[in-house]
Structure 1
């Protein structure tokens, strides 16, 4: 397979006319050459933090506080999930997965509620889909053993020492929420030596130094933080010290579209479009351990093809900026997985 157009290649997303050659699902050549194509070809997205079980309860929370919305075990989300039957949850998740695929997401990291049963429900929802999951079970060691790792709710909810040790022994990913409401749970979370942290809205200078020293990656979810009224993460400060990836968080609160998350982050968080595109692609891929997120030889051919001559994108002078701040689902011509 060969795809021609303007390629956003490498880690700098240099815009060049050219052709990508794919063989057996792998990028085998990225060539610079003249082309008449209006396509824009870039790596498909990696959504580094989702809760798609919430797909049964979109916009159910109104103006509730963060704890009332999602805190285990009695937050609204947990009560709604507990009351819903498995088939309903599977159907709702399958629709969110279809939407994620249509908006250019090739892989995602899911914090999956419901123990082993929750992991199995997500696998059922993934049937027939091409999106690549990295599933982090929650609540029990058994859920970790049945999935790709453990996704902890936060050090304010539990110590998670046993789960961390079991996850390390299994050689799997361990992620944990930290610094979402305030800074009090950041040090206990970092003491667990996680593979990554989620949110980090309220880091203090000590925490920023710890991030720099340990190089612990952070996943930020700015739209979610704004909806739950906890503030915006200091994305630029975080990115100066460690790898930052982008997630959309709860489907209950926001659509799982990285187009929307990128635009929001670029316009409100004082980071460049190139940095934001890295957060939505290669940074999330490396955090999750998936071989995509870059338009370069040797990477899996998970590619997003946009119509550069759409009414929305025609005339764009800076393609990276246009992709990050302007593009959307209507501009997607093809998603290659």
Structure 2
């Protein structure tokens, strides 16, 4: 794309996602102005997504025919996915991750936060996959990989003292610290909160008191509803307790989790969240963007922000008849509606 360009349409501006007829001017990748206009193109312009929890190396195990408990499938070090990763050629893993990165980019995701197994070599594989990919990929390593990554991603405090000590070292060195917590039950949530992490993932079975702690201590929560259902740790709209999270004032982010089971498609995640959990469209959309604030400025469309937005051809198919465009984006839009010129 050229160094300077303009695009006009219905712009969903700022964190309030206010729909205004406007023209956006971009220079050198930065939004230099968002000016209201009377006549604009028939497009919707929205902030891009940040997928707040992924395991993209698990692309090598996509839809592998398995069954069993959550631990048997994904828990380190002997879960089925770990065996499949250890048996895969490194170049094959890199190619799989590149393909998934390409998929995310094609579906309006401009950044993601990945839990990368495999120690130092595992982090290096993802760095190779990210090279030249023009996406804001953030890496949380483990088993030594945290030393060359953005921080550490711990499966659970149930892993034991070595994982907890590694998290403390990362925190003391100023690196990002995240824990899976409360995915299967609530027993590992308080211990994770005690370590003052920068992010908790799942909290599918977190209690009211645990959610209040997260809100009071400013610890964001990344929820992954489709993965929770797929893996059998959720079977109703109260798990994860998203409405309670919002009511308590928690900062809730949206992730897709494991590519072995779930495609990293935020459009699908938002739609699922709307239909199954009944969350307000604006709240859902903010969950899909707010992960970008974990490592810098959020992707919301405003002057001086990086140009991380996408354009929907609102005349394509039937979406131009919408009386509530934001809800339509959350529940009906997919990559086929996107204007590929932006």
Alignment partners' CA distance in 2, 1:61 and 1:156: 27
Q: Report the 3-state secondary structure (helix = DSSP H, G, I; strand = E; otherwise coil) of the residue aligned with 1:128.
A: coil
State TM-score, norm by structure 2. Answer: 0.94
Alignment partners' CA distance in 2, 1:158 and 1:59: 30
Alignment partners' CA distance in 1, 2:172 and 2:42: 49
Match of 1:228 among 215, 227, 231: 231
Q: Report the 3-state secondary structure (helix = DSSP H, G, I; strand = E; otherwise coil) of the residue aligned with 1:206.
A: helix
**Where does residue 288 of structure 2 map in the other structure?**
280
**Where does residue 244 of structure 2 map in the other structure?**
237
**Where does residue 121 of structure 1 map in the other structure?**
125
Gaps of 5+ in 2: none
Q: Show CA shifts across 1:125-159 (max 9, x none).
A: 1123111111111222xx11211111111111223
**Where does residue 83 of structure 2 map in the other structure?**
79
Match of 2:314 among 308, 317, 334: 308
Gaps of 5+ in 1: none
**Where does residue 333 of structure 2 map in the other structure?**
327
1:309 offset after TM fit, Å?
A: 0.6
2:52–2:255 contact (8 Å) kept in structure 1:
yes
1:61–1:76 contact (8 Å) kept in structure 2:
no
Is residue 175 of structure 1 aligned with residue 182 of structure 2?
no
**Where does residue 63 of structure 1 map in the other structure?**
67
Q: Report the 3-state secondary structure (helix = DSSP H, G, I; strand = E; otherwise coil) of the residue aligned with 1:203.
A: coil
Is residue 209 of structure 1 aligned with residue 212 of structure 2?
yes
Is residue 257 of structure 1 aligned with residue 265 of structure 2?
yes
1:164 offset after TM fit, Å?
A: 2.0
Q: Report the 3-state secondary structure (helix = DSSP H, G, I; strand = E; otherwise coil) of the residue aligned with 2:68.
A: coil
Q: Report the 3-state secondary structure (helix = DSSP H, G, I; strand = E; otherwise coil) of the residue aligned with 1:265.
A: helix
1:46–1:107 contact (8 Å) kept in structure 2:
yes
Q: Aligned Cα RMSD in Å? A: 1.3
Alignment partners' CA distance in 2, 1:61 and 1:274: 37
State TM-score, norm by structure 1. Answer: 0.95
Alignment length, in residue pairs? 332
Alignment partners' CA distance in 2, 1:91 and 1:54: 12
Is residue 162 of structure 1 aligned with residue 175 of structure 2?
no
Alignment partners' CA distance in 2, 1:299 and 1:29: 10
Alignment partners' CA distance in 1, 2:320 and 2:252: 30
**Where does residue 6 of structure 2 map in the other structure?**
2
Is residue 13 of structure 1 aligned with residue 17 of structure 2?
yes
Q: Show CA shifts across 1:163-214 (max 9, x none).
A: 1222123211101000000011111111111001000010112212212221
2:21–2:37 contact (8 Å) kept in structure 1:
yes
